[in-house]
Chain A
Amino acid sequence: MKRIVFILVFIICLSACQSTGVTKQQAFPKVYNERPQSILVLPAINKTTAADAASLYSTTIAQPLAEAGYYVFSIPYIDAYFANEGIIDGAQLSEIPASRYKELFGADSVLFVHINQWDTNYYVLGGNVTVGATFQLVSTRTGQILWQYHDTVVNDTSSDSGNLLIDMISTALTTSVVDYVPIARTVSQQIVRTLPVGHYHKNFNKDQGEVGVSEKSSHDRP
């Protein structure tokens, strides 16, 4: 009996560690050096053709960041603040020195969200909905990038009944009604999982050894 429990625990440990990669400390030492407590999420930088992607994507960001232990400034307020200044896309803010956000809002760091993909694809026998994003956390003290990560989730909307015509129609129908937001939510959660946790999280300053950062992604540029 004891042996079964032991093996089970071992398997669980193994499954948790199996994603080969570097530790959070190795990937993002600057986060541990600086330990920002608050994050200001700037309006998203929309690289897609979907005009509404930014405002819809922004609804999925606060929750994972806050649950990761950071103070997150009210995203609807920040969006409204910048909209009032005529800024609706984060790309318009690229020339602003990061220290400005410290003065205006008291933020320790700002988050640039690049929406890379927000597409519906059809091919002859199937289809999919794809959402991809890059998150970049920049220090308002030094202007340096503390953490960045990107991820893409493809939701397959193909159907497989064996009948070509029915499949084509059914795929088109499923693909056209698929909501992007649950997919965007998954992308945000997967990206934020690689961020060292903040001071409201019980593992604050204890997750340096956590492996879960895939080496490839952490080094990719947006």
Chain B
Amino acid sequence: MNHKWLIILLGALLLSACTSKIYYWGSYENTLYRYNKEPNEANLSKHKAELEMIINKSSKGKRRVPPGIYFELGMIEARLGNIARSIELLNLEKAQFPEAEVVVNNTIARLEASS
């Protein structure tokens, strides 16, 4: 009985230490690292797929999309010529994070001027 108590207490402490994350990251660091190390099309599409996965999973789970993820995917879409989708993603970044307002507005203005 006593031991059970202790285990529950320790478990609760460990759990509280592990659930402090605000955002869902998936394998973001790994796919970005691989792309930075070898910037080729295959690694870019893997990283892009990871960004899309993070956005999809976050919308279902409790954790939010991390700052910069919509933006990063938006810039990849712009590079691929998908300007409308890019602007949509940049606006999602701004909607979730008001801190991004200036950079999103400036970037959209540049995208619209060049397209």
Residues of A participating in the B interface, judged by any CB pair closer than 8 Å: 1, 4-5, 8, 12, 37-38, 52, 55-56, 58-60, 62-63, 66-67, 69-77, 80, 104-106, 108, 181, 185, 200-202
Contacts and interface: CB of A to CB of B under 8 A. Distances in A.
Given A63-B66, A74-B75, A201-B22, A5 B29 contact: no
Contacts of A5: 5-6, 9
A89 to B, nearest CB: 15
B29 A80 contact: no
B13 interface: yes
B106 interface: yes
Interface string B66-102: 1111011001000000000000000000000101111
Main secondary structure of the interface of B (DSSP, over half): helix
Interface string B16-43: 0000111101001100110011000000
Interface of B: 2, 5-6, 9-10, 13, 20-23, 25, 28-29, 32-33, 36-37, 66-69, 71-72, 75, 97, 99-103, 106
B28 A69 contact: no
A67 B37 contact: no
The 3 lowest CB-CB distance pairs between A and B, nearest first, are: A106-B102, A74-B68, A71-B99
B36 A12 contact: no
A67 B71 CA distance: 18
A77 B72 contact: yes
Contacts of B33: 56, 59, 181
B2 A1 contact: yes
The residue among A58, A77, A181 with the most chain B CB atoms within 10 A of its own CB is: A77
Given A55-B36, A77-B75, A69 B22 contact: yes
B7 to A, nearest CB: 11
Nearest to B68: A74
23 contacts: A1-B5, A4-B6, A5-B5, A5-B6, A8-B9, A8-B10, A37-B99, A38-B100, A62-B28, A62-B68, A63-B66, A66-B67, A67-B20, A67-B23, A69-B22, A71-B97, A71-B100, A73-B71, A73-B100, A76-B32, A76-B75, A77-B75, A104-B103
Given A55-B36, A66-B22, A66-B23, A73 B29 contact: no
Nearest to A203: B20
A101 to B, nearest CB: 10
Contacts of A60: 29
